[in-house]
Amino acid sequence: MMSSIFSKIIAGEIPGRFVWKDEKCVAFMDIMPASHGHLLVVPREEIDRWTDLPPELAAHLFAVAHKISQALDQAFDKDRVALMIAGFDVPHTHIHLFPADSMAEYDPANALKNLSTEELDADAATVRAALRSLGHDEFVPEA
């Protein structure tokens, strides 16, 4: 089986804008974001369907998603942080987190496709700063 694109990002074979790294999962910016701050929480272990995750890993992913969502809520001026698991595009479980004022904002057809690398880098830096301000320094990588 070939490695998923997420496994390649985690391994450093493909660049990623990481905002969180721990022994079980990572979080990095989505390259076709629905909104500024849109990111993915991804287990290091390549498991296609989220329903196949061991319960302990699923709980860990959601605990990390909760912490990152608090940082996104602090960092971006939106009504709330949406969470979604679709599981169709990449055969590697991932949780989408994105600041939004409504679910209508999550439409892949309207993704911020023209976001520059500088804007993606700035969003990642904003999220990392918010995570540090919430006391999660040990999990927040340098750029």
Set 36, 92, 94, 136: catalytic member: 94
Q: Spell out the residues 6+ positions from residue 84 whose beta carbon is closer than 8 angstroms to its own.
A: 95, 96, 98, 106
d(CA 72, CA 100): 10
Question: Hey, which residues does 40 pair with through a beta bridge?
Answer: 28, 96
From the centroid of its chain, how far is CA 103?
Answer: 17
In degrees, rounded to 5, the angle at the alpha carbon of residue 117 between the alpha carbons of residues 112 and 122 is 90
Half-sphere exposure of 81 (CA within 13 A, CB side): 22
Burial (CB count within 10 angstroms: exposed 0-12, middle 13-18, buried 19+), residue 21? middle
94 labelled catalytic? yes
Assess contact for 94 and 14: CB atoms under 8 A.
Answer: no
Catalytic residues: 94
